[in-house]
Amino acid sequence: MEIGSIGIVGAGQMGNGIAHVCALAGYDVTLTDVRQDALDAARQTITRNLDRQVSREKITADARDAALAKIRMTATLIDTASSDLIIEAATERESVKQAIFEDLVPHLAPQTILTSNTSSISITRLGSRTDRPQKFMGFHFMNPVPVMQLVELIRGIATDAETFAACEAVVTRLGKQAATAEDFPAFIVNRILMPMINEAVYTLYEGVGTITSIDTSMKLGANHPMGPLELADFIGLDTCLAIMNVLHDGLADTKYRPCPLLVKYVEAGWLGRKTQRGFYDYRGDGDPIPTR
């Protein structure tokens, strides 16, 4: 199947990044969100990131202008239904994702492919709640989308070969690299990454090291570009907790038990960069300050 148009549901950090790269690759993009202010912010973010690529001579000004012209924004979910491919990039809650698909399905053409950018939820289960489990799969981008080269492609148990091939062709056209993952909790990247972050939080919780010493140790000792606690703030502590809960519930192994300190930060609403406080406090003008 030839994909010419892409609908993206959710205009947050992931959704606006997906819209950016899809439009830059020449796809007609419809980006939707229930909040108009999220759409307005997405337009500003996409424009700013494209401008940065122009300034760094990664793309031309003409390519930037063409990409912006390819993006249509709407607060009406059903406006995405005419797309060849739909990528759901809403919040990491299964009930929200199911409600989106239920609203979309009656308005889709028979050949439309449905996908989810979920970082951990069962693709088989999500697909089974639609009328097209054979045309449903996981399409998991990494954050930040314009920079990161990997896309995890996850087949559900019913996903057919044609659907997988069509999605793989999209990844290639975006100039990114596909990695195929089986449909088990958190797939590949987060199955490995999130337990490491959770263990870093346990290391803090048990007093083995401070926030600064833990992050410095992993940056200088393991050559990681960001420390695990800094990375958790970037991802969002609520997202980290949600993925750890999926791993713990789905695999029934105590090694995936979320650290109580991670739970406490989420309960406090200290979710990282997006709320200006997490393991670091970002509210000042200088460098972020550790919160413990």
> Using CA atoms, how far apart are residues 88 and 118, in angstroms rounded to an integer?
8
* 140 tagged catalytic: yes
DSSP state, residue 111: T
Q: How many CA atoms does the CB half-sphere of 203 hold within 13 Å?
A: 18
Residues 170 and 85: beta-carbon distance below 8 Å: yes
Is 267 assigned a catalytic role?
A: no
Long-range contacts of 276-283 (CB under 8 A, 24+ apart): 278/232, 278/233, 278/237, 279/204, 279/211, 279/229, 279/230, 279/232, 279/233, 279/237, 280/211, 280/229, 280/230, 280/233, 282/233
Q: Which of 5, 16, 117, 140 is catalytic?
A: 140
Q: Is 248 a catalytic residue?
A: no
83, 116, 119, 120: the active-site residue: 119
- Stated as kind and residue range, the H or E segment containing 29 is strand 28-32
Closest among 139, 126, 125 to 168, alpha carbons compared: 139
* Catalytic residue list contains 190: yes
CA 180 – CA 155 distance, rounded (Å): 8
Catalytic residue among 88, 92, 152, 230: 152
Residues acting as catalytic residues: 119, 140, 152, 190
